[in-house]
Amino acid sequence: MDATEAATGCIIEIRHLWTQFGEQVVHRDLNLCVHRGEVMSLVGGSGSGKSTLLREMLGLEHPSRGEVRVFGVSLRDGDPAELHGIRNRWGMLFQEGALFSALSVFENVALPLRELKTLDEELIHDLVMLKLDMVGIERGHAAKMPSSLSGGMVKRIALARALSLEPELLFLDEPTAGLDPDRSESFCSLIADLRRELGLTVVMVTHDLDTIVSISDRVAVLADQKIAALGTVAEVAAVPHPFIENFFQGERGKRALEGLKSPAAVSASGQQER
């Protein structure tokens, strides 16, 4: 663990972050800390800047002011070699998968491993097959091209690719959007399993209440250009704020939170599925 990370205890640390597009202020003096080993959900209305914040955590965009540190390295003025190093320590699942359309499923997952240039082909082959197996893709699909697969399969393969470098930190953008309920449930338990086995830290942007309730340790609500509430699902749901009331106290919200009333049952069943 890096010295700065150890000092603050945050795997991702956002300090006094401002994001502005012209006149429009998206984030105003936003602070957030993601602890090692937790699953953090980012929720917020459309246009509240969730995806922008995620992109800023990945260094794809830079904030107008303020600082983002991941693994204790500042994404803006960190040492280029260090920045390169942390890119091998995180994985990102894009909303549409972002698989390389010119490469087969196998090649897609193998690409980050091949880029290391030190592993032999046999090890890469078996690792790729193991990852595909973990996300529930049958080997018959390995030679297919992404364009011939369904959206749910693309998402699972993209997850396998995000996991291929054995990351410590995993970013998920709407991981269960577009999956049927059964698939999204198994996706959640897959994430929960992986997290238990590998000690993953997960940051996800999602709208799906069931996903939030079933796997997240903490929820950060983005509203009014800042983090309006931060805490466990039950804590956040109790915060009096118009967006939160809408989000958690609607019909669907109530149904999802219903499960929280008997927390023991939920966590037990959530952990033991599969």
Partner 1 sequence: MTSSAAPNPLFPSLRVERNPDGQSVVKVSGAWNLRSIQPVARTLRQQLTGHAPGAQWDLSAVSRLDHAGAMMLWHAWGKQRTGHLQLRSEHEIFFAHLEAGPTLADKYGKRVERRRSLWVPGRAVVTLGEHIMQVLILLGKVSLAFMEAVRHPSRMPWREISANVYRTGAQALGITALVGFLIGVVLSYLSAQQLKAYGAGIFIVNLLGISVVRELGPVLAAILVAGRSGSAMTAQLGVMRVTEEIDAMSVMGIPYTLRLVLPRIIALAISLPLIVLWTNAIALVGGMVAARYELDISLTYFITELPDAVPVANLWLGLGKGMAFGTLIALLACHFGLRIEPNTESLGVGTTNSVVAAITIVIIVDAVFAILFSSVGVP
3-state secondary structure of 132: helix
Compute how many residues bind partner 1; rule: CB under 8 A.
32
**Position 180 contacts partner 1 (CB under 8 A):** no
**Position 69 contacts partner 1 (CB under 8 A):** no
Terminal CA-CA length for the chain: 32
**Position 89 contacts partner 1 (CB under 8 A):** yes
Instruction: Pick the piece of the chain touching partner 1 (CB under 8 A) from 135-143, 210-218, 226-234, 237-245.
Output: 135-143
**Position 186 contacts partner 1 (CB under 8 A):** no
Of the candidates 88, 235, 265, 101, which has an alpha carbon nearest to the alpha carbon of residue 168? 88
3-state secondary structure of 221: strand
Question: Cβ(40)–Cβ(220) under 8 Å?
Answer: yes
Instruction: Pull the structure tokens for residue 216.
Output: 């997240």
Closest to partner 1 by CB, 1 vs 7, is 1
Question: Cβ(131)–Cβ(93) under 8 Å?
Answer: no
Cα(180)–Cα(169) distance, rounded to whole angstroms? 26
Among 33, 134, 230, 266, binds partner 1 (CB under 8 A): 134
Closest to partner 1 by CB, 101 vs 272, is 101
**Which residues from 150-169 bind partner 1, rule CB under 8 A?**
165-166
Closest to partner 1 by CB, 77 vs 138, is 138
Q: Is the dihedral of CA 178, 182, 185, 189 positive or negative?
A: negative
User: Shortest gap between Cβ of 156 and partner 1 (angstroms)?
Assistant: 15
Among 51, 74, 104, 225, binds partner 1 (CB under 8 A): 104
User: Shortest gap between Cβ of 23 and partner 1 (angstroms)?
Assistant: 30
Cα(183)–Cα(200) distance, rounded to whole angstroms? 21
Closest to partner 1 by CB, 6 vs 123, is 123
The amino acid sitting at 162 is A
Question: Cβ(69)–Cβ(234) under 8 Å?
Answer: no
3-state secondary structure of 60: coil
Closest to partner 1 by CB, 159 vs 256, is 159
**Position 82 contacts partner 1 (CB under 8 A):** no
Footprint of partner 1 (CB under 8 A): 88-89, 100-102, 104, 106, 116, 118-120, 122-123, 125-127, 129-131, 133-134, 138-139, 142-143, 145-147, 165-166, 197-198
